[in-house]
Structure 1
Amino acid sequence: MKWIRTVGTAVAALSLLASGSLVAGPAQAAPGDNLAWTATASASYTSPWESVAAVNDGIDPPRSNDTTNRRWGTWPQTGTQWVDLTWTSTQTVRAVDVYFFDDNGGVRLPAAWRVQSFNGSGYVDVAGASGYPVAVDRYNRVTFTAVSTSRLRVLLTSGAASVGVLEVKAHTNPPVDPPPTSGWNPPANLVTPLNEVWQHYEQTYPQLHTFRNYGWDQVMANRGYLNYCVRWDSPAPVSAALRDQIHAALARQVKKWTDVMVGHNAWPYGDVPVRVVGWAVRDRNQLQWSDNSVDIYVNDIRENAPQCAEPCGRFFNQNGTYPNCPGGVARHYDMSLWLTAGMGGGAGGDWGQRVGSEYFVNNINAADMHIVLHEIGHSFGLDDFYDWTPTGVGGFLMKAGSAAQITEFDRWMFRDWWRHLKGRYGY
């Protein structure tokens, strides 16, 4: 397979042992997600050993003195420094998050910073700024009156040393912090059936506590998001409009599960954005768009279906590193949405979800795509209930055919998984 990675006007190629091609471009931001993901970054100055591309590579830093991931720093330059985000079209921005680089040496926190937008002739400060916090080991957020612009600038004034940034996020609708968390407090009538379900899990699946690729593991490894690749196992064409509808429908269904956790039992995220970063197809001509908003994998056939590239898949790289993925960690995919022509029913697991392409497209505007929801439940570890029903519980989504949406019992089963597994993530 030949892979071509496009970054700005630069093109790099890597030959692999297979047939087909991948054309890759800037990653696509999910609705309401980080707009910086699709921008091109530039800067006033970049130290030769650092990289301005770090500021929007999608990697959340573990700390301000990050020694693992790439960084943007301006040592030995001081004074006023800036980093720009430039889009190919106008964006509406209401908030910016900045994670500062501080190595306790030549690069330290700025004395001050502000956000500016380009108005067609020059840069002006955004209006209505909520304030510009400056702190280590966290994102520093400013909200402001919405601006429509294709260029946004983060302007930093140095203090005791040079300045730097590890990541910048720009939002139309900034994620809402979760409310204060509550502990484990299921309704009294569900305590017995929930305990029965968990005991059944542990007895049936001995690998439960050692397996490390549930949806929970993926969200926590990414620090709060999920990446998908679509396997289009159908001869039907896909327009750009249908592509975007598929992306939005998938995000809505995943959100129905992850919203169950908001504010519950120390769950750390108010939102878990879904990013679709790639499509796999037999024939490039089926995909009726010319933009490079997603990576495209052509004619890499596995299981008699188009396969997204293994080097970019978490299923194949569960150590969390992607050394042979052209886009690295930021462009990896955690799960696949496998849409197969003529398929009835569905399948799901840590690798993703598989349903009929006709079913998905025909239900694309449905509030609850119950087969997809059921299979997403499996990706987070929830079991099937073909031959038994917990005590005192009627129909529920994970008991196939007995409910068409997530029920109260499904919600508490989901939360019970977090209760038992959250310790592996330090919660």
Structure 2
Amino acid sequence: MKRMAFLPILLLGFFLVPAGPAVAAEVNLATTATPSASYTSSWESVAAINDGIDPPSSNDTVNRRWGTWPNTGQQWAELTWAQAQTLRVAQVYFFDDNGGVRVPASWKLQYWTGSAYNDVPNATGYPTALNTYNKVTFGQVSTTRLRVLLQSGQGSVGLLEVKAFTNDPGGGGPSTWNPPANLVTPLNEVWSHVESTYPDLYGFRNYGWDQVMANGGSINYCVRWDSSATVTAAQRDQIHATLARQFKKWMDVMAGHNNWPYTNVPVKVVGWAVRDRAQLQWSDNSVDIYVNNIRENAPQCAEPCGRFFNQSGNYPNCPGGASHHYDMSLWLTAGFGGGAGGDWGQRIGSEYYMSNLNTDNVHILLHEMGHSFGLDDFYDWTPTGVCCFLMKAGSATSITDFDAWMLRDWWRHLKSRYGR
């Protein structure tokens, strides 16, 4: 898949920042508790949830795990202390073997009042990201029991580790940057390559990161329908749903990690661009319609509404105002093979997209979305110790652990521009 260029670049300068005073680490109170659960598979162990071992991934095949296969429905695991603990933060690492045990459809934290279990107050949200700790902060409680209540989805449920703190230790895991040991070297190689290849890496301000942060945790799309085929209202909604589902896969990688502020990043399609209005077989006004506005020999939504053309974030000439602006385009082109991606959005074949509306991983689209967040191609080299991952085209069809940590590494290096 070809990576299409970002905007022109500037020279980069470097400076050193003096180190601040050391801050005492928060104590993980979970390790002093006694674990228990609603059910535990005979070959698993509930002791896994607070043994203090940071999992290498959600499909940990080395350390102990707590799982409930074949039981489904509502399940729970909890920590019980001999004396009441003051709690404000918890971190949960889900067990998911991509088989019988999967991340839950939903979950929440409850605390024991002395006579009943209540939901923790003012929870910040309950992310379900794989291969990382999912952090929840909440209003202070004093309790002898903290329960993780899980509702199964695609399979049974399980946990690898639960941590509990009086105050926020920062980040989504045991530290602000905690990749598995076997990925440290290849991640450093990738970042060194990125810095040497893209001299305006830090000066460029239209990555997907910039767009999500500018919107306060959402993203807007325009669909460029570069095809002569007609589209029904049902197909329009399916196209949107597939786009949102694929985008969520990347955002779930970030949820709860390293001060990433959002547990969910909604995707809204605000406009459709087409050559002939008659191709769009709906009459409602749920999206803006742009007819025969041609750029690059393809229909596009209005330039005054596009972030690519208005990177200040102001849209004074956009019909309908800033709420109708689009950050990226989903460019669906008839007969197009492979894909392309960048800060402007993603381009893939319309036939490929329409034939994969119900596919779990639309891997070409996922690959191109990675480019929109800055991730590179790997046509001529492979980082040490890794072989098959989504951004190395043709070697994987879903986001792997290495892809996830590459994305998090971008956030690690760029998050200071957003005050995180």
Match of 1:302 among 267, 278, 295: 295
Tell me how far apart the structure 1 counterparts of residues 325 and 367 of structure 2 sit (CA, whole Å).
24
Per-residue CA deviations over 1:293-318 (Å, capped at 9, x if unaligned) read 00000000110000110000000000
Aligned partner of 2:344 in structure 1 is 351
Give the corresponding residue for 2:94.
none
Q: 1:192 to 1:284 in 2, by over 3 A?
A: same
1:360 Cα deviation after fit? 0.2
Give deviations 1:198-219, integer Å, cap 9, x for gaps: 0000000001000000000000
Q: Is the 8 A contact 1:232 1:340 kept in 2?
A: yes
Post-superposition Cα deviations, 1:173-197, rounded to whole Å, max 9, x if no partner, equal x964762433210000000000000
**1:12-411 equivalent positions in 2, closer than 5 A:** 176=126, 179-180=135-136, 181-182=172-173, 183-411=176-404
Q: Distance in 2 between matches of 1:319 and 1:198?
A: 27
Unpaired segments ≥5 residues, structure 2: 1-120, 128-133, 137-171
Shift in Å, 1:330: 1.1
Contact residue 229 and residue 337 of structure 1 kept, 8 A:
yes
Query: What SS is found at the alignment partner of 1:402?
Result: coil
Q: Distance in 1 between matches of 2:190 and 2:275?
A: 41
How far the C-alpha of 1:386 sits from its partner, in A, is 0.2
Deviation at 1:329, TM superposition (A): 1.5
2: CA distance between counterparts of 1:338 and 1:253? 15
Q: Is the 8 A contact 1:214 1:350 kept in 2?
A: yes
Once residues 324 and 412 of structure 1 are traced to their aligned partners in structure 2, the CA distance between those partners, rounded to angstroms, is 39
Residues in 2 aligned to 1:322 and 1:277: alpha-carbon distance in whole angstroms: 14
Question: Judging changes above 3 Å, is the alpha-carbon distance between structure 1 residues 142 and 194 closer, same or farther for their aligned structure 2 residues?
Answer: closer
Equivalent-residue separation in structure 2 for 1:175 and 1:326 (angstroms): 34
Aligned equivalents of 1:244, 1:176: Cα separation in 2: 26
Change (3 A) 1:287 1:175: farther
Q: Which residue identity does 2:177 align to in structure 1?
A: W
Residue matched to 2:9: none
C-alpha distance in structure 2 between counterparts of 1:259 and 1:207, whole Å: 28
Q: Following superposition, which runs of at least 4 residues in structure 1 exceed 6 angstroms of deviation?
A: none
Relative to structure 1, the CA distance from residue 187 to residue 356 in structure 2 (aligned partners, 3 Å threshold; closer, same or farther) is: same
Q: Identify unmatched segments of 5+ residues in structure 1.
A: 1-140, 144-173
> In 2, Cα distance between the equivalents of 1:240 and 1:246?
10
- Separation of aligned partners in 2, 1:390 and 1:230: 35
State yes or no: 1:423 paired with 2:416: yes
1:130-169 deviation per Cα after TM superposition (whole angstroms, max 9, x unaligned): xxxxxxxxxxx999xxxxxxxxxxxxxxxxxxxxxxxxxx
Structure 2 CA distance, aligned partners of 1:296 and 1:193?
45
Question: 376-385 or 179-188: which moved more?
Answer: 179-188
Alpha-carbon distance in structure 1 between the residues aligned to 2:122 and 2:330? 35
Shift of 1:326: 1.4
Identity of aligned residues (%): 76
Render the CA deviation track for 1:333-371: whole Å, top value 9, x for unaligned: 000000000000000000000000000000110000000
Given the two structures, how large is their TM-score scaled by the length of structure 2? Answer: 0.60
- Does the aligned pair in 2 maintain the 1:385–1:399 contact within 8 Å? yes
Per-residue CA distance 1:31-84 (angstroms, 9 max, x = gap): xxxxxxxxxxxxxxxxxxxxxxxxxxxxxxxxxxxxxxxxxxxxxxxxxxxxxx
Write out per-residue CA displacement over residues 370-414 of structure 1, whole angstroms, 9 at most, x where no aligned residue. 000000000000000000000000100000000000000000000
For 2:307, the aligned partner's letter is R
Whether the aligned pair in 2 keeps the contact of 1:176 and 1:271 (CA below 8 Å) is no
CA distance in 2, matches of 1:258, 1:363: 20
Conservation of the 8 A alpha-carbon contact between 1:340 and 1:357: yes
Deviations 1:80-111 (A, max 9, x none): xxxxxxxxxxxxxxxxxxxxxxxxxxxxxxxx
Residues in 1 aligned to 2:253 and 2:261: alpha-carbon distance in whole angstroms: 12
**Cα-to-partner distance string for 1:266-320 (whole Å, 9 max, x where unaligned):** 0000000000000000000000001000000000011000011000000000000
Question: Match of 1:232, SS?
Answer: strand
